[in-house]
A and B are shown apart, each in its own frame.
Chain A
Amino acid sequence: MEIRRCNDEIEISELDPFLAELLRQIPASADPKGTTVAEQRLFSPPAHETETDLCKEWKLYVEPELRRLFQTATETVATDLQQLNGSEKTLANRVLRIPWKHADAWLSALNQARLVIAAKYNFSDAELGDHFRSPIGSRRDLSLFQVNFYGFLQECILREVG
């Protein structure tokens, strides 16, 4: 896989079917629905619980705004990922082009996905720092690989953002 900036796009080329599938899973992975810990992480309280009024108003007024913000980002990413639609066979050596103006949406969606997955599996600091664990083994190993792969993509986009 190769990532580079071409004019007003970020180009991810030489994608193999496995990584292409991981990319396609970003929107679904970023959805915290049904997992309380993930919901709690994405929508954390703005102050200590003793600030009851503030926390209550935050839930009422700010949280819906944040939900919309996060959803818009994942929808933008889902639209870009339509380039990868097709059978597994046609996914070999595919190229994904991300418009430059979508870079922030990608950073957000990748971060959402990483946080949701990490919350679901309750990864330890040591696990999160283990970048060489094989994705083959268990669902947990695959999810850890997913977190690290999305982190790698974030780093690449950040480097381009400068």
Chain B
Amino acid sequence: MSRMPRRECSRVAQKKQFKEPIGALWEKGGATTIERPAIEKETRSKEDLDLPWLVIVHNDPVNLMSYVTMVFQRVFGYPREKAERHMLEVHHKGRSVLWSGMRERAELYVQQLHGYLLLATLEKAACYGDSPLQ
């Protein structure tokens, strides 16, 4: 599966080309103009940098418990006991936080979980007051 591109709002790429000479070399008896390199400026809001993102799996009465456990083991590399604990939390409480961390990785995990047809979402930690279970 291909990686999902980052949101525009989290990355502002500004390319500025400066045509004025910033240096000169004597070559073949003449001056050579060197263009200033393109500057890629990457900005992220403080909020984006500070808050972890949560990967949450929601309950679905159709998916088999054994299947969900297997998916957690495969996607997150969790041992069977931990995968089962999360599966049971999904089953009894309706949802479970499977992972927390950087947004890009969280998106990738959600994509993988959707590939296995689980109901998964990513949420910003502070928005919903979840404590990540690692």
Look across to chain B and name the residue whose beta carbon is closest to the beta carbon of A128. B61
Rounded to whole angstroms, the CA-CA distance of A102 and B120 in the bound complex is 25
A69 within 8 A of B: yes
Contacts of A1 in B (CB 8 A): none
Per-residue interface assignment for chain B, residues 4 to 15, with 1 indicating a CB less than 8 Å from any chain A CB and 0 otherwise: 110111000000
Rounded to whole angstroms, the CA-CA distance of A141 and B121 in the bound complex is 32
A88 within 8 A of B: no
B90 within 8 A of A: no
B29 within 8 A of A: no
Query: Interface SS of chain A: helix, strand, loop or mixed?
Result: helix
B1 within 8 A of A: yes
B31 within 8 A of A: no
B117 within 8 A of A: yes
B66 within 8 A of A: yes
Task: Give chain B nearest CB distance to A134 CB in angstroms.
Answer: 21
Per-residue interface assignment for chain B, residues 62 to 99, with 1 indicating a CB less than 8 Å from any chain A CB and 0 otherwise: 11101100100000000000000000000000000000
Task: Give chain B nearest CB distance to A56 CB in angstroms.
Answer: 9
Task: Give chain B nearest CB distance to A110 CB in angstroms.
Answer: 9
Listed stretches A6-14, A20-28, A47-55, A77-85; interface member: A47-55
A62 within 8 A of B: yes
B102 within 8 A of A: no
- From known contacts A128-B61, A158-B70, infer whether A46 and B8 are also in contact, taking CB-CB under 8 Å: no
Cβ-defined partner of B62 (8 Å) among A48, A61, A62, A115: A115
Is A155 a contact partner of B64 (Cβ separation < 8 A)? yes
Count of B interface residues, CB-CB < 8 Å: 27
Is B67 a contact partner of A111 (Cβ separation < 8 A)? yes
Range class of the A interface residue count: 20 to 34
Is B117 a contact partner of A42 (Cβ separation < 8 A)? yes
Cβ-defined partner of A69 (8 Å) among B1, B4, B62: B1
Contacts of A46 in B (CB 8 A): 107, 110-111, 114, 120-122
Is A66 a contact partner of B62 (Cβ separation < 8 A)? no
A17 within 8 A of B: no
Rounded to whole angstroms, the CA-CA distance of A44 and B1 in the bound complex is 17
Is A114 a contact partner of B62 (Cβ separation < 8 A)? yes
Per-residue interface assignment for chain A, residues 112 to 132, with 1 indicating a CB less than 8 Å from any chain B CB and 0 otherwise: 101100100000010010000
Please name 19 pairs of A and B residues whose Cβ atoms are closer than 8 Å in the assembled complex, sorted by A: A46-B110, A46-B120, A46-B121, A46-B122, A47-B110, A47-B122, A57-B5, A61-B2, A62-B1, A65-B2, A66-B111, A66-B114, A108-B117, A111-B116, A115-B60, A115-B117, A118-B62, A154-B67, A158-B70
Which residues on A are within 8 Å of B, measured CB to CB?
Answer: 42-48, 53-54, 57-58, 61-62, 65-66, 69, 107-108, 111-112, 114-115, 118, 125, 128, 147, 151, 154-155, 158-159, 161
